[in-house]
Structure 1
Amino acid sequence: MDVWGEEASPLKKWSSYFPDFNLLWEDLTNRLETHLVDQVAAIFYKIWARRNSFVFHNKFLSPLVLIQTAIDDIEVYKELHLKVPSSIENISLQNSVVQWRPPCDPFFKLNFDAAFDSEKRMMGIGIVVRDSRSKLCQELGMQQVIFEGDAKVVIDGVNGIKSNCSWQGQLLDDMKFLLLRHTDWKLHFVKRNGNKAAHSAAKIGMYLENEVVWIEDGPSEVLSAIFFDKQCIPILS
């Protein structure tokens, strides 16, 4: 399965023979724009990581998924590595931006999001569960849970008291019933900045053929978002 032969590959139809890596890298940096060189470097890493995943865990990513996750890695990196503001006013403004907050013990927080590509007719759902120390949850039999997402219309509909007779309204009523049966379940809205980990997971999910569950581990772009959330906790509290 040829990664570099995929439509999204920045090296499609290039010569496949170079006597050593230095000559290959020199050719890449001379012929490609900077953002494409970044993509190639990320794909190099993903190929190495895929080999390790196959050898040690018997898991194998398709070329399309590998390239897409490499591109997503770069997008997340650019989002998370912003320049630090130089003035106190800018720092105050930066701190006012919505970020993920850990739940109070003994609650767990389950962040969720969905991604949809209308052209390719693909959809992915991402779920990230963390505890009060913002660690990924090891147990799935949770009783006290805060569900958090950025689908405001849906969340307001579930938490609201108005009746909705449409087909969507019946689904909202089902969700309301579930919340009533579990008094320690809560549903909260958060803006996209506070839901980045689940959003990254949902984007990856679009390119996975089957459901995948990671415990205390996960794709690098999701873990990067989780690490960023943890870094922001002392600033915001």
Structure 2
Amino acid sequence: MSIPLSNRGASDRRIWNASARGVFSVKSAYALECTLQKRNEGGKSFSGAANRQWKRIWDLKDNTCPVCLSEPETVVHVCWGCSATADVWGRISVFRKWRRDFYDFQALWEEMGTKLKQEELELAATVMHSIWLRRNEMVFNGNFQSPNAVIAKAQADYSVNREVQEGVPGAAVRILGSESRQFDKDRGRMGIGVVVRDSEGALIGSLVAPKRNVTSAFQAEGHALHRAMVFCIELGLMHVCFEGDAKAVVDAVNSETEDNSWDGQLIEDIRQLKAAYLVWKLGFVRRSVNASAHVAAKLAVFFSCESVWLEDGPSEVRKSIMDELVCNELIQS
């Protein structure tokens, strides 16, 4: 009952249970072997000193660019000077003939500020952000995106940002699945709270739902995010920004690495939903920003079945939203 099954009818797969991502690696195999050996051995008096020595070795750092492997990694190198980065900028006509030898990022940005229009400057910042994300994806997950993929993501982000600035109707979705007070590990149950609001903070809809046979907080947060996305599809919303306070789930969904972990099927289901709506965004926010959804999740554990409100919500949720709107007005005044 607690095995996370895919809603897509995905095929079964083998996973390596000794790593969090379910993928075999020499490091995880070595850690498993050490764990098995320690079960049959007593502790050694010098183990602490040995661990400290190994930590010093593993902490040694090399500042060479992990992409081109030929120059020191600096901010201006990653975002502009690297040969792999040049392939990205070379596909954007306005930057095609720019020089590459800026000595630091400030010099690059100052020149952009004097030569570019506001829209071009905003696009440049978005492209740099995509390039930096590509660098992180390669370093931490071993994936390297093509220049066209980087540009496509940057253009999508830029379009969404422009729509928000110009007041194009959209919706901001604040979702919260379950934290320690909503997820009961011993009983395997959780509460889902979803609050959907427009760009001005007005309530579009809300949802509370209890769920059983949940084995971890990560799985609980994943179920909440999945239900929030399905709820927005049911409401017919196209431009949605999802905000969740479970960073591990947000990072897992936004990553392009195949997830072979125990909850990988659930993450893949969420990714598929998100991929169907290119303008959907998913970001991490702290719980203090997610107060209304947190209130909804706390209420959900007391419900016997899922309940939905359109342009309304439980009185506790409405009060939380009203308090937030009043607070924002006081800050702006």
With over 3 angstroms needed to count, the CA separation of the structure-2 counterparts of 1:159 and 1:214, relative to structure 1, is same
With over 3 angstroms needed to count, the CA separation of the structure-2 counterparts of 1:165 and 1:194, relative to structure 1, is same
Hey, what's the Cα distance between the residues in 2 that align with 1:151 and 1:131?
A: 22
**Residue in 2 that maps onto 1:229:** 324
Shift of 1:182: 0.8
Write out per-residue CA displacement over residues 120-177 of structure 1, whole angstroms, 9 at most, x where no aligned residue: 5542101000111211116911111111110110001111233321132232222222
Hey, what's the Cα distance between the residues in 2 that align with 1:236 and 1:151?
A: 29
**Residue in 1 that maps onto 2:310:** 215
**Residue in 1 that maps onto 2:297:** 202
Hey, what's the Cα distance between the residues in 2 that align with 1:164 and 1:122?
A: 24
Hey, what's the Cα distance between the residues in 2 that align with 1:119 and 1:146?
A: 33
Shift of 1:236: 6.1
Aligned-partner SS, 1:218: coil
Gaps of 5+ in 1: 1-102
Q: Which of residues 191, 215, 219 is equivalent to 1:124?
A: 191
Asked whether the 8 Å contact 2:245–2:285 carries over to 1, the reply is: yes
Shift of 1:213: 1.1
Hey, what's the Cα distance between the residues in 2 that align with 1:119 and 1:173?
A: 27
Hey, what's the Cα distance between the residues in 2 that align with 1:109 and 1:231?
A: 18
Aligned-partner SS, 2:307: coil
Matched, 1:148 2:215: no
Hey, what's the Cα distance between the residues in 2 that align with 1:152 and 1:136?
A: 25
Aligned-partner SS, 2:278: coil
Write out per-residue CA displacement over residues 26-85 of structure 1, whole angstroms, 9 at most, x where no aligned residue: xxxxxxxxxxxxxxxxxxxxxxxxxxxxxxxxxxxxxxxxxxxxxxxxxxxxxxxxxxxx
**Residue in 2 that maps onto 1:136:** 203
Question: Which aligned pairs between 1:94-109 and structure 2 lie closer than 5 A?
Answer: 105-109=168-172
**Residue in 2 that maps onto 1:162:** 257
**Residue in 2 that maps onto 1:113:** 176
Alignment RMSD, CA only?
A: 2.3
Hey, what's the Cα distance between the residues in 1 that align with 2:186 and 2:261?
A: 27
Hey, what's the Cα distance between the residues in 1 that align with 2:332 and 2:243?
A: 18
Asked whether the 8 Å contact 2:192–2:297 carries over to 1, the reply is: yes
One-letter code aligned to 2:317: V
Q: Which of residues 183, 186, 194 is equivalent to 2:281?
A: 186
Hey, what's the Cα distance between the residues in 2 that align with 1:236 and 1:188?
A: 24
Asked whether the 8 Å contact 2:173–2:241 carries over to 1, the reply is: yes
Relative to the length of structure 2, the TM-score reads: 0.37
Aligned-partner SS, 1:214: strand
Hey, what's the Cα distance between the residues in 2 that align with 1:179 and 1:122?
A: 26
Relative to the length of structure 1, the TM-score reads: 0.51
Hey, what's the Cα distance between the residues in 2 that align with 1:214 and 1:222?
A: 11
Identity, in percent, stands at: 44
Hey, what's the Cα distance between the residues in 1 that align with 2:168 and 2:199?
A: 5
One-letter code aligned to 1:178: L
